[in-house]
Amino acid sequence: MSELPQIPDSDATLAAAEIKFAQTQQLQKKLKQRRSDGKLLYEGWQGSQDWHNWRMQQLERQNWKCACCDIQMGFGEKTYLANGDFMLEPQHPTVEHILPKSLFPKLTLDRQNLVITCWACNKKKSNDMVSASRLRHDLLKQKLNAHQQIDTE
């Protein structure tokens, strides 16, 4: 005769599932708050005189070239869409967070985490950590090369 499969204690299983569900909800709430924190920090800075000054200085440091694709950037026109959103010309400069502000809100205003990219690259990257990692690596490599050139001169 074959044995019947063990039926788990339904009360214990249900309690464990409820605990896991509560933990998942709490984690989702924390993540949503972190995303909101980063967005609010940036929105408070964006458009300020400090933001405008930093953006122009960074454009000069980057020789008006996109940190991702190296295209020559320039200010273009905004095209407003019927839903109230807007589009920018692909070469329009935008402030890009290397590590996304939604995932790393404490780095939202850290100048080491900001570069200027063209609008097209900014839209492609979104919160993609692989792109962020590659961009961060390339920028650190450029800084290292620049320091090495200074040391040899």
Amino acid at 144: L
Confidence of residue 50 (pLDDT cuts 50, 70, 90): very high
In angstroms, the CA 125 to CA 98 distance is: 9
pTM for the model: 0.58
Q: What is the pLDDT of residues 66-123, one digit of tens each?
A: 988 899 998 877 787 787 777 778 888 989 988 888 888 888 889 888 999 998 888 8
In angstroms, the CA 31 to CA 28 distance is: 5
Write the CA distances from 60 to 16, 56, 57, integer angstroms: 57, 6, 5
In angstroms, the CA 123 to CA 66 distance is: 13
More confident residue, 58 or 130: 58
Tell me the sheet residues that pair with 97: 114
